[in-house]
Amino acid sequence: MSRVLYYAAATLDGYIADPDDGIDWLTGYQGTYGGDDAEAMKGSYDEFYEGVGAVVMGSTTYEWVLDHLDQWPYEGKPAWVLSSRDLRQPEGGGEVNVADASVAELYDEMTGAAGDRDLWVIGGGNVASQFADEGLLDEVLVTVVPVVLGGGKPLFDRPVPGGAMQLVGARTWETGMVELRYEIRR
């Protein structure tokens, strides 16, 4: 059975994008960490992505991907975009379902498409909050980047029902970033 995972990078003050939806704070980050517990970050995304069977995102994230990447990065993975608007399809293919429905209505379809792999909530904070509100979010994996924006698009749009999450893992990367893995308490 697939799990629903929210996997994202966030600033130290909890933002996944700047106020203009930019992520230069992430793509331009050049930090290092030489502690004994530092792990090489290279390959960690590929390891995560191998376990993903399907993806879901909001329209802002989707349009950012289409506008900033040369090709659709989720080829071969069924994708959902939560939106009430008509949106263009990615050039060169890709299975993208634009849906004006609640996550509760789409849950069985999305997890069914993921099969025995995970459903990745790519972003943004509103989509992650919708899954949490419905009790459908299983884990949060956030890579904390030691940058402070002071404002922007938050990791979550609103409090997660039930309050605290349970830390189940932490990894320190040689870049100075830290990956935190939390289970959602129900």
3-59: pLDDT as tens digits: 999 999 999 999 999 999 999 999 999 999 999 999 999 889 999 999 999 999 999
Mean predicted lDDT score pLDDT of the chain? 95
pLDDT band (50, 70, 90) for residue 186: confident
| Model confidence pTM above 0.75 | yes
Assess contact for 100 and 83: CB atoms under 8 A: yes
Neighbours of 91 (CB within 10 A): 10
Per-residue pLDDT tens digits for 119-128: 999 989 999 9
CATH class of 45-140: alpha beta
Q: Give the DSSP letter of residue 185.
A: P
Strand 4-11 relative to strand 166-173, pairing: unpaired
